[in-house]
Chain A
Amino acid sequence: MDTSTLTMFLHGLQVAVQPENLLAVAIGAIVGTAIGVLPGVGPVSAVALLVPLSFGLSPTTALIMMAGVYYGAMYGGSTTSILLNAPGESASVVTCIDGHKLALKGRGGSALGVAAIGSFIAGTLGVIVLMLLAPPLSRMAIAFQPPEYFALMILALVAATTMGEGKLVKALISMSIGLCIGTVGQDIQTGTIRYTFGVSELLDGIDFLVAALGLFALSEVIWETVEPNALVTRINVKSPYPTLQDLKESMGAMLRGSGIGIFFGLLPGAGLITSPFVSYSVEKQLSKHPEEFGQGALKGVAGPESANNGAASAGFVPLLTLGLPGSSTMALLLGIFMMWGVQPGPLLISQNPEMFWGLVASMYVGNVMLLILNLPMVPLFAKIIDIPKPLLLPLIFVFSFIGVFAVNNSTLDLWLVLGFGVLGFFMRIYDFPAGPLVMSIVLGPLMERAMRQALTMSNGDPLIFVERPVAVGVLVVAVLFLIIPLLRRGNKDNSEIMA
């Protein structure tokens, strides 16, 4: 196996460095980064736009390009989160929290640099896992069935409360509102229509992006507009690049984030969304200074950014071995496979070795290319935050609207994003964290679906959630996540009293 893997990989590398494939990786990476940088315009629309272009290419080249767009967008996605507080997809919501604070302190360059390097490390490690362990690891995806997914969603929700910056009750309130919003739309198991008031645009529920751009980006715009000094304050951009100290400090977080991301990425559908939260939660609990989280902790960027890229790469394992797409972009990639008559599944690697190994090798090349492409841009991007506010704020406003409209071509979404902007503004005044709300809009429906599938499996017996070892294990971790911060706070209070 070992020597043959190496031979196959070298063969794949030969495929990947053919001029047309190198060009395909480059186009994919550049388009992906550009898309990632524009708030709201996500990888799905990019891949969809490029599909007609790929008709003229060989299947391998087309796939290499599409995959490049996919992980390129993951790279670029952090940029707007850090600089403009405008997440483009669920995977980069967590990055907003500390990343934007860092940018406001003039350390945007550090944050961007750490995000790019973390993404590179995680992406590369993810590809290595894909290369060496794809077939055995696909069994893990199967070990996670509806009851386990339900437990996993509970874990993610618990992790999301750690974004509350110590205000647990307010974070829980925020989360409950998000869960309520998540019930809007057509019920997945019975088709019953809930809270749509006869508006057909609401049948699929409220898109996560609408809430995220409203609560983060637009509320920021409103906030800055009413803040008397904000318009004239200029941010002193300190370092265009992360310092050696920054890298040393965040290396551990990057590696842990990569590991977490790769692990969760193997679970289709859950990895991209849950892994950044879990990583954030872990970093906060390992940190000697948990109070820095939420105020601009570099580790709070390095961990989650590595995690989402690790998950993006590892997500190719269930896609290629089981035909299980983990996100809508992946579903589109799956569609492209089918278009070429290639059936992703257990036999893909042996039947289409050229395609599989070419793709794997191109992902190495692509990761290096993205790092080279992104690092020189960091100082340039970091300057965006220095654009005079009267110019920058309307720009964010316009881009948020474009991003929201691009998702469903729905004018209703434009009103909704405005509504969420106002809601976010008031939440800020009263000090409620927006992160848990946004995340529970994404997690709520997933959790509900898993729960109802599991209960149908057990003919309604709720014991199914505690009878299965994996599900119990995940639930125990969730409980630990909830208890550890309370214990630590208790200890700290004690030691302060002692001192």
Chain B
Amino acid sequence: MRLKKYGLIALLLVVTMVLAAGCGGEKKEAASGESKAPTKPITIIAPNGAGSGWDLTARSVAQVLTEKKFVTVPMPVENRAGGGGVVALSHMVENLKGNDQNLIVYSPPLLLVNLNGQTKYSYKDLTPIARLFSDYELFGVYKDSKFHSLDEVMDALKKDPKSVKIGGASAPGSMDHLAFMMAASKKGVNIKEVPYISFQSGGELTAALLGGSIDVISTSVGDTLGQLEAGNVRALAVTSPERLKDPRVANVPTLKEVGIDETFEVWRGIFGPPNMPEGTKKYLTEAIEKMAKSDEWLAICKKYSWVPTYQPGDQFGKYLDDQNKLMGDLLRGMNLIK
């Protein structure tokens, strides 16, 4: 009799376990709409090495969230480098589906690796939580360059697309390349012919400009500040919608001011894994919104010349759809993808 009872309990247990496993985490929390505070540490993945832009973003977010107690569990940062973010993306999609203990930081390469065919996964597989801030690109020339305005550069390119060498600190088909070609195509330059030389870092790029290997640089504003201040580099334009506030670049015209009605934004955002539980998503969205409005966060943004452009997950998702289309059209226009 007793044995039978235990047997029944055991059977029940097994059935529940099988059922639970069958549901597979996806519907673990039925409480929809309720924000659910985490009880275990939440790891923020930086898809690149320590010291990279993604790493700095992840660490800054973790710092403000935990110090201001917006999130009460520890938030370690994990570096998962490789393939321009592809390794971390595969890890998120393949191993962390439905998980509530992981976040990941990304920027436009998340869209580009998919468009360029380097991975089958895309931003659509992740759960957007928020856009955090944006960075912009700057076009510049050496101080003794014959070019004094972006118009002159574009005119020279229109006459002979191979006559001006463009350099950037990211791979061909990535941000630095796209930003310049977007502007050039608006001016009617045959962008398929324009040579682009990619360097490994902003430092290498400026050395190449100072050494005469390239004529024009297209890179993030932050990379150029030191040489701008020293007067070695002359800025021609920035890709932001309005002039930047940093005094070192406040006098640089926007693309719109030089007659190109475009902006190019290097956004940074934070995402959850596919099918992130609703409760956790809501909790983290609220916490990050509080963070984005805090003085501590704004101070960090000011320090690194980041422009705060917070947007919550649902709006951010729509923004990404638009960006993805824009980038795809540009890459096709440059003959980089079909």
Contact = CB atoms under 8 A, between A and B. Distances in A.
A334 B51 contact: yes
A144 B204 CA distance: 11
B207 A142 contact: yes
B158 interface: no
Nearest to A47: B50
A345 interface: yes
Interface stretch (B7-15, B18-26, B226-234, B316-324): B226-234
A143 B207 CA distance: 9
B229 A322 contact: no
A449 B172 CA distance: 13
Contacts of A347: 226, 229-230
Contacts of B230: 345-347
A343 interface: yes
A190 B172 CA distance: 6
Interface residues of B, number: 53
B203 A204 contact: no
A23 interface: no
B50 A459 contact: no
Interface in A448-473: 449, 453, 456-457, 459
Nearest to A187: B171
B86 A335 contact: no
A336 B172 CA distance: 28
Given A323-B203, A457-B165, A142 B210 contact: yes
A322 B116 CA distance: 33
B203 A51 contact: no
A204 B82 contact: yes
A191 interface: yes
A332 B227 contact: no
A145 B212 contact: yes
A48 B50 CA distance: 6
Given A142-B207, A203-B82, A335-B56, A188 B171 contact: yes
Contacts of B86: 200, 203
A299 to B, nearest CB: 34
Contacts of B78: 409
Given A191-B116, A191-B172, A459-B162, A345 B195 contact: no
Contacts of A474: none
Interface string B64-91: 0000000000000011111110110010
A446 to B, nearest CB: 10
B213 interface: yes
Contacts of A459: 162, 195
Contacts of B227: 323, 345-346
A45 interface: yes
Contacts of A453: 197-199, 213
Which of A191, A204, A336 counts the most chain B CB atoms within 10 A?
Answer: A191
B118 A191 contact: yes
B202 interface: yes
A145 B206 CA distance: 11
A51 B50 contact: yes
A200 B51 contact: no
A297 B81 CA distance: 39
Interface in A327-364: 328, 331-332, 334-336, 338-339, 341, 343-348
A295 to B, nearest CB: 38
Interface in B18-47: none
A146 B206 contact: no
A145 B204 CA distance: 9
A325 B56 contact: no
B204 A268 contact: yes
A204 B81 contact: yes
B118 A203 contact: yes
B49 interface: yes
B84 A186 contact: yes
A376 B143 CA distance: 53
A21 to B, nearest CB: 23
A44 interface: yes
B195 to A, nearest CB: 5
Contact of A200 (B87, B213, B214, B226): B87
A386 B148 CA distance: 69
B210 to A, nearest CB: 5
Contact of B197 (A200, A348, A408, A456): A456
A412 to B, nearest CB: 10
A191 B50 contact: no
A48 B199 CA distance: 24
B109 to A, nearest CB: 11
B207 A322 contact: yes
Contacts of B197: 146, 453, 456-457
Interface string B221-243: 01001110110100000000000
A460 B288 CA distance: 50
B309 interface: no
Which of B51, B79, B80, B86 counts the most chain A CB atoms within 10 A?
Answer: B51
Interface in B49-63: 49-52, 55-56, 59, 63
Nearest to B56: A335
Contacts of A344: 226
B265 to A, nearest CB: 21
Contacts of A335: 50-52, 55-56
B247 interface: no
A345 B226 contact: yes
Nearest to B88: A200
Contacts of A189: 171-172, 198
Contacts of A328: 49, 51
A272 to B, nearest CB: 15
A281 to B, nearest CB: 26
5 contacts: A51-B59, A146-B208, A186-B84, A203-B118, A339-B303
Top 7 A-B pairs, shortest CB-CB distance: A345-B226, A203-B83, A48-B50, A324-B203, A332-B51, A335-B51, A346-B230
Given A190-B172, A331-B201, 20 more contacts: A55-B63, A141-B207, A145-B207, A146-B208, A200-B87, A200-B119, A204-B83, A322-B207, A323-B203, A323-B206, A324-B204, A335-B50, A339-B304, A343-B229, A345-B227, A346-B227, A346-B230, A449-B200, A457-B165, A457-B195
